[in-house]
Chains A and B, each alone.
Chain A
Amino acid sequence: MIIDLPRFVSAERTYWDELHAVLAKLEAEPERRLPIEEIERLHYLYERCSSDLSRLDTFATEPRLRAFLESLVSRAYSVIHETRAPARIRWKSAVLAFPRAFRRHLAAFRLAAGVTLLGCAFGWFALHVDPRNKAILMPFPGLQAPPAERVAHEEGAKNDRLKGIKASFAAQLMTHNTQVTIMALALGVTFGAGTLILLFYNGVILGAVATDYIVAGQGVFLAGWLLPHGSIEIPAILLGGQAGFILAGALIGWGDRTPRVARLRAVAADLVAIVSGAAVLLVWAGAVEAFVSQYHQPVIPYSLKIAFGLCELAALSFFLGWVGRE
């Protein structure tokens, strides 16, 4: 079919301009609810432009006009065929989305916790077999000294060693741990292998540190030092691992016959809710680590620090396990 293009354009342009104006309005306000007459009109304009595009297909000698119509049809298609609700940032629903997403994917969290515990067991075993492995397993200068020596030094300290750097120390902890958590999620794209290695490595360090202090008889110091921030920080990193395993599960799709794109689409909002929640937890954990965890008896009694850490853990468990249940 050969069409008279100028006549075609002049006849249809009014409809194209009208559709363009409606779409521009909807794109500017995605939450806007249209009355039924406007929806019907939008659908009519979409079908009319689609039909114009089809007519042009048979006489596709004007690429710019075709590109223009394709742009209009694709924009209208994204508005008309989208079934997901437009993103509404409501604080209440954003807060509730986090524990709900956590509970929907509990198996992935258990896997993250299991891998970390396995790493802890490996850390314990490696240090138990040969204590000289400490230098390899814990390559941090602050942890190289014998635990008893560190405890005596820090308990007997007369000056505040973090004076004047507490806020910047907290900021570094927050950003570093958030980066680790995002990395645990992002490495899920390696079909979970990267997430698994990251969590196992974290577990090895944790297990080795715990073994070192417990064997040296410094279990109370260890609990007082780690629990105030660790009761939030460690679960937050596990949540990052959970997100990584969810992503890996959607990529692999064991026993799931839905297409990969649909599987990934189904978990995207949950991944974002979990990682955002974990990031907020890490801001708290960073502040606690800099302002509370580094101060020991007699400045802050161990019993108080341990009780504080246990309360945080109980509150977090309650929040993740019960808040927002339907």
Chain B
Amino acid sequence: MSDRRATSLTIETPEGVEFSFDLASPVTRSLAWMVDAAAILVLTKGTGKACEWLGRLNQDWATAISVILYFAISVGYGIVLEWRWHGQTIGKRVMGLRVVDAQGLRLQLSQVILRNLLRLVDMLPMVYLVGGVACFCSRNCQRLGDLAAGTIVARERSPYAPDLEQMAPAKYNSLLAYPHLAARLRSLASPESVSIAVEAVSRRDGYEPLARVELFQELAAYFQSLVEFPEAARESLTGEQYVRSVLRVIYGGGRG
């Protein structure tokens, strides 16, 4: 079953351009649900306390309001928040997830209502067992509510362009003194390896000093194994400096 499951959903536009959504895993979705369950609990407890206070005036009506509010919060929480916040609840915001239309179109109110009403079946017999099994079995990690509403839960993408200057500042770059080797490096570096290098550079200040040195040495060794620059270009460069120089070569910045 697992080999049928995709980690992303790719949509091809009529213009022939492809874009993809990174699908949220069942584990991430469960964590988001736990946050939402806690939020619902806090809300219902809060309204319960308010109704207790109202009970001093009329116990019957206070109980009635409390019963209706409990029902409205448990059913309406997901509907109201996903509609107002364009596919997000508190839990989904915390976990960086968003409900989107499975065809990449605008999420409709009817889809939001339907996926939330069908939660009743997904929750059966307890703790989302039906929904969880459906998620594991479905290609796009959809619970039954998502299948019926034509929605998926995707990872949120950053709406801001990355700061290339921060990662690979345009400074003197000894590797660019060898343009033929630099061009060879650009053609040989795989997107995955560059992606790892970018992640490593952007998170560098969060590493333990020793781990930081080891990680960049490993990355530098990998890039050196792709294209070997002369000793003159590499001397006095630490592993981290070498990796940043490589990124400058790949992104086309810097001076030779």
Binding site for B on A (CB under 8 A): 2-7, 9, 13, 16, 20, 27, 30, 47, 50-51, 53-54, 57, 60-65, 67-68, 70-74, 77-79, 81-82, 84, 86-87, 89, 164-168, 170-172, 174-175, 178-179, 182-183, 185-187, 189-190, 194, 247, 251, 261, 264-265, 268-269, 271-272, 275-276
User: In the complex the two chains form, what is the Cα distance from A81 to B13 in whole Å?
Assistant: 9
Binding site for A on B (CB under 8 A): 11, 13-21, 59-61, 63-65, 67-68, 70-71, 75, 86, 101-106, 108-111, 113-114, 117-121, 144-145, 147-150, 157-162, 164-165, 170, 183, 186-187, 189, 191, 194-195, 198, 250-253
With A50-B13, A171-B67, A189-B145 given, name 12 new contacts (CB 8 A). Answer: A6-B164, A6-B253, A50-B15, A57-B18, A67-B158, A70-B20, A166-B60, A179-B120, A185-B117, A189-B121, A189-B147, A268-B150
Residues of B within 8 A of A185 (CB): 117-118
User: In the complex the two chains form, what is the Cα distance from A51 to B15 in whole Å?
Assistant: 9
**Contact between chains at A247 and B67 (CB < 8 Å):** no
28 example contacts (A-B, Cβ-Cβ < 8 A) are as follows A9-B161, A9-B164, A30-B106, A50-B13, A50-B17, A57-B18, A62-B194, A63-B194, A65-B162, A67-B158, A68-B160, A73-B19, A77-B11, A82-B106, A87-B109, A167-B61, A167-B64, A168-B67, A182-B120, A183-B121, A261-B150, A268-B108, A268-B110, A268-B114, A271-B114, A272-B109, A272-B113, A275-B117
User: In the complex the two chains form, what is the Cα distance from A188 to B249 in whole Å?
Assistant: 58
**Contact between chains at A68 and B117 (CB < 8 Å):** no
User: In the complex the two chains form, what is the Cα distance from A111 to B194 in whole Å?
Assistant: 60
If A62-B162, A70-B19 touch, whether A265 touches B150 (CB-CB below 8 Å) is yes
**Contact between chains at A71 and B117 (CB < 8 Å):** no
Residues of B within 8 A of A5 (CB): 164, 250-253
CB distance from B80 to the nearest CB of A (A): 12
CB distance from B64 to the nearest CB of A (A): 4
User: In the complex the two chains form, what is the Cα distance from A9 to B147 in whole Å?
Assistant: 38
User: In the complex the two chains form, what is the Cα distance from A318 to B160 in whole Å?
Assistant: 55
CB distance from A30 to the nearest CB of B (A): 7
**Contact between chains at B106 and A86 (CB < 8 Å):** yes
Chain A contact surface mostly: helix
Residues of B within 8 A of A74 (CB): 11, 19, 21, 104
**Contact between chains at A175 and B17 (CB < 8 Å):** no
If A6-B252, A20-B159, A82-B105 touch, whether A170 touches B64 (CB-CB below 8 Å) is yes
Residues of B within 8 A of A61 (CB): 186, 189, 191, 194-195, 250-251
**Contact between chains at A172 and B19 (CB < 8 Å):** no
**Contact between chains at B161 and A16 (CB < 8 Å):** yes
Query: Which of B17, B20, B118, B157 is in CB contact (< 8 Å) with A189?
Result: B118
Query: Which of A2, A20, A62 is in CB contact (< 8 Å) with B187?
Result: A2
CB distance from A90 to the nearest CB of B (A): 12
Closest to A23 in B: B159
Closest to B63 in A: A168
Query: Which of B64, B108, B157, B194 is in CB contact (< 8 Å) with A84?
Result: B108
**Contact between chains at A6 and B251 (CB < 8 Å):** yes
Residues of B within 8 A of A174 (CB): 68
**Contact between chains at A168 and B60 (CB < 8 Å):** yes
Residues of B within 8 A of A16 (CB): 161
User: In the complex the two chains form, what is the Cα distance from A194 to B64 in whole Å?
Assistant: 30
Closest to B72 in A: A175
Residues of A within 8 A of B251 (CB): 4-6, 61-62
User: In the complex the two chains form, what is the Cα distance from A4 to B183 in whole Å?
Assistant: 12
CB distance from B83 to the nearest CB of A (A): 8
Closest to B162 in A: A64
User: In the complex the two chains form, what is the Cα distance from A47 to B15 in whole Å?
Assistant: 8
